[in-house]
Amino acid sequence: MEQTYIRLNDGNRIPQFGLGVYQIEGDAATQTACLEAISCGYRHIDTAHAYQNECGVGEAVRDCDVAREDLWITSKLWPNEYGTGKTARAIDKMLGRFGLEYIDLLLLHQQFGDYLGAWRDMEKAVAQGKVRSIGISNFESERLEELMQFAQIKPAVLQVECHPYYGQGELKNRITPYRTAIECWYPIGHGDSGLINEAIFCRLAEKYGKSNVQVILRWHIQKGHIVIPRSVNPQHIRENVEIFDFSLTKEEMQEIDTLDKGRRFFKMSLAQQERILGAWQPTI
């Protein structure tokens, strides 16, 4: 597999395709999935403190036969870790859980809490060499602009829900001035059968000898998205990344774009997020 990279606004190069480990329970299962992915050519692993499996990711990084500098490890801070001083301590604890000397990309996981205080500590962590790039996840309200104006180091990555039914065109326009890259969770629409089995994907899968999911993931790559599908199935892990040996035509890309219905699968309002997600915190 020939991995593709995106040059971030801070000059770092992020592997465009990675493994997401959301809802992989336990460090052993996480380590196994990561090692399988790395053996298949993945060089990017996306986790979070909230996933409570960072130790398993770190174990895979240490146990694999790929040099640390050739791997990209992303994690995220939970809102209970936001705040001046508090975030600095949380970053040190995160490095301890990983057993690593630095994190390639650190994101604010949610758009509530003292995210401005957290951002200042994240900027300091970059200067200290503890973190290479910093970014945000799930910032889509007016708080996105607030953070952009506050930030001395602009977010390198914005991770949000994005798939052919929800292409995030308006959000992309808002972050274009900052050259912030889009990273997609739910890249195949939370596994929605209606999306996966759209006629265009069935037709293109037959044309290129690929699965419908592979066609969707290829669309993401050609849109310039960073994409992190989750799987623990070795066959799916391998198949997901086998998308670099074909290309969709301009017309095919445009036809897929017409599927955008403005339909998202995560429908919790910001107020609900603050109330429900804010009441929970990682136990590890």
Q: Which of 51, 82, 115, 165 is catalytic?
A: 51
Lookup result for tokens 């992190």: 228
Domains of the chain: 15-278 (3.20.20.100)
Parallel, antiparallel or unpaired: strands 181-185 and 226-227: parallel
Q: Which of 150, 157, 140 is nearest to 225 (CA)?
A: 157
pLDDT of residue 3: 82
Alpha-carbon span 34 to 44, nearest angstrom: 9
**Which of the four pLDDT bands, split at 50, 70 and 90, describes residue 172?**
very high
pLDDT of residue 22: 96
Pair of tokens at residue 212: 């419908």
User: Which amino acid appears at position 15 of this protein?
Assistant: P
Residue 1: pLDDT above 80?
A: no
Residue range 133-145: average pLDDT?
Answer: 95
Residues 215-227: tens digit of each pLDDT: 999 999 999 999 9
CA 16 to the chain's CA centroid: 10
Q: What are phi and psi of 234, to 5 degrees?
A: -55, -40
pLDDT of residue 43: 98
User: Mean pLDDT across the chain, nearest whole number?
Assistant: 97
**Which of the four pLDDT bands, split at 50, 70 and 90, describes residue 141?**
confident
Q: What are phi and psi of 194, to 5 degrees?
A: -60, -45
Pair of tokens at residue 4: 């593709």
Alpha-carbon span 94 to 73, nearest angstrom: 12
**Which of the four pLDDT bands, split at 50, 70 and 90, describes residue 59?**
very high
Lookup result for tokens 């039914």: 165
Mutual orientation of helices 212-223 and 250-257 as an angle, nearest 10°? Answer: 100
Alpha-carbon span 237 to 19, nearest angstrom: 8
**In contact, 48 and 75? CB cutoff 8 Å:** yes
Residue range 125-140: average pLDDT?
Answer: 98
Asked whether the CA dihedral 91, 35, 16, 190 is positive or negative, the reply is negative
With a CB cutoff of 8 Å and minimum separation 6, the contacts of 128 are none
Residue range 94-105: average pLDDT?
Answer: 98
Indicate the SS3 state at residue 89: helix
pLDDT of residue 217: 98
Residue range 144-171: average pLDDT?
Answer: 98
- The pTM score is 0.96
**In contact, 237 and 37? CB cutoff 8 Å:** yes
Alpha-carbon span 56 to 213, nearest angstrom: 27
Lookup result for tokens 């000059």: 11
Assess whether 115 carries a catalytic annotation.
no
Residue range 28-53: average pLDDT?
Answer: 98
Residues 198-256: tens digit of each pLDDT: 999 999 999 999 999 999 999 999 999 999 999 999 999 999 999 999 999 999 999 99
